[in-house]
Amino acid sequence: DDDNNNNNNEEEEIGDLDGKINCPNCKFKLGNYSWAGMQCSCGTWVTPSFAIHKEKVDEVYS
């Protein structure tokens, strides 16, 4: 069946399960992401998870 053959590389086509979050302009690393999840400092497992390093970004108040 052709459908089964097309799904063999599904993970490759979709992208990485985890990686870095970079500035689209200068490529500076701002944080990480994981579609499989990460453990919070409180112990809870968060899925998916996105972690931005506070010291790497400017906080803006409106």
User: How does pLDDT run across 2-60, given as a tens digit for each residue?
Assistant: 555 555 544 445 688 999 999 999 999 999 999 999 999 999 999 999 999 898 889 89
Helices (H), the chain: 2-6, 10-14
| Residues 6 or more apart whose Cβ sits within 8 Å of residue 33 | 18, 19, 20, 21, 48, 49, 50, 51
pLDDT at 62: 87
CA atoms of 28 and 31, how far apart (whole Å):
9
pLDDT attached to residue 9: 46
Contact 52, 23 (CB under 8 A): no
Residue 61 has pLDDT above 70, yes or no: yes
What pLDDT is attached to residue 60?
Answer: 92
Segment holding 43, helix H or strand E: none
